[in-house]
Structure 1
C-alpha cells in the first residue's frame, strides 16, 4: 500500500474503466480526467495496492460528502480492484488502509453507495466492517451498458471510525 501519485494514473484509469464496463460499479459512463480525479480527491486518502514489481492491483480514494462544515468528518469513497487481482484480499487491504488514514486525519465516517447487484462489493464492505444503512430506490437512471435506461437502486454503507 502506498500513496497514489499522478504517475499511477494510466493503471488507475484502466482499473476504473474495467469496473465501469461491468455496469455495477458507478453511474459514471467513463473515468474522469486525470486532473478532475486528483483535484476532487482528499489529499492523503488516495491509495494504491501494488504487486512486488510495482504494478497497481487496485486503488481507493475519497471525496468530501458535503461542503457543509457539519459534515467535515464524513467522506465518500470508491474502491476498485483489477479483475486479475480479485479474490486476493486487495480490496480489504485498501479499505483497512483508508480507515486507518481517515481516522488519523480526524474523519469519523466513511460511506459509499453500492448497487445491490454488486454482490462482491457488498460482501467486501461487510467483511471490512461497514454496515448497511439503507436502500435508496430508483435513485438514478443508468445511461450506459447492460443496464442502460434502467432506474437503479443503491445500498448506502458506512463505517464509523
Structure 2
C-alpha cells in the first residue's frame, strides 16, 4: 500500500464506516495519520484485473513496549461491490504471511459480534475468540449510531516457532 493507493483505500474505509459493522471510527483518517499509525511491513492492497484497489489490510502495534513488539492489531476491508468474491480470504492469507515474515507472532482484532462474515473469515484463517468486551464504546455512525456495542477480541498466533517469537 502506498500513498497513491490512498484515495481507493479511503473510499473503501469510508464504506465500511458507513455500514456500521466494521469500526467505531466515524471517518477515515488522513493519509499522513494512517501512514504513521500502521506498521510498514504488513500493509497490503488487493487489486482487480484493471489495477483498481478493491480491498486492503493493515495493522498497528498494540503497544510501544518492547515486550509487545510482535503483537499487532489488524483491519481488513473489502469494497462492498466485491464482497463474496474470495478477496477477503486471499487478502487475509497474504497479510498473515507478510506479518509472520516480518516477525509478528500475534495478530489480533476487535470485531463486532454481529459481523458474522468477518468472524467466519477469521476463524477459517486460524483466529479464535479470546474474549468479549461488553459495552466497550458507542457507535458513532450507521444503523447502531449512539448505541453501546460489544466487541469480540480475536487473535491468531503464528504457526512458526510454536507461536513464539524467534529467540
Q: TM-score, normalised by structure 1?
A: 0.95
- Map of 1:130 onto structure 2: 127
Alpha-carbon separation, structure 2, partners of 1:134 and 1:39: 28
- Residue matched to 1:31: 28
Match of 2:92 among 87, 91, 95: 95
In structure 1, C-alpha distance between the alignment counterparts of 2:150 and 2:45, rounded to whole Å: 28
Secondary structure (helix, strand or coil) at the match of 2:120 reads: helix
Could you list the runs of 4 or more consecutive aligned residues of structure 1 that deviate by over 6 angstroms after TM superposition? none
Question: Which residue does 1:86 correspond to in 2?
Answer: 83
Structure 2 residue matching 1:53: 3-state secondary structure: coil
- Give the 5 Å matches for 1:1-161: 4-161=1-158
Q: Deviations over 1:124-153 (max 9, x none)?
A: 111111111111101111222221221100
The DSSP-based 3-state class of the residue aligned with 1:35 is: helix
- How many residue pairs were aligned? 158
Shift of 1:68: 1.1
Give 3-state SS (helix, strand or coil) of 1:106's partner: coil
What is the root-mean-square deviation of aligned Cα atoms in Å? 0.8
Q: List alignment gaps of at least 5 residues for structure 2.
A: 159-167
Distance, in Å, in 2 between the alignment partners of 1:93 and 1:45 is 14
Counterpart CA distance in 1 for 2:96 and 2:19 is 26
TM-score (structure 2 length as normaliser):
0.92
Consecutive unaligned residues of structure 1, counting only runs of 5 or more, are: none
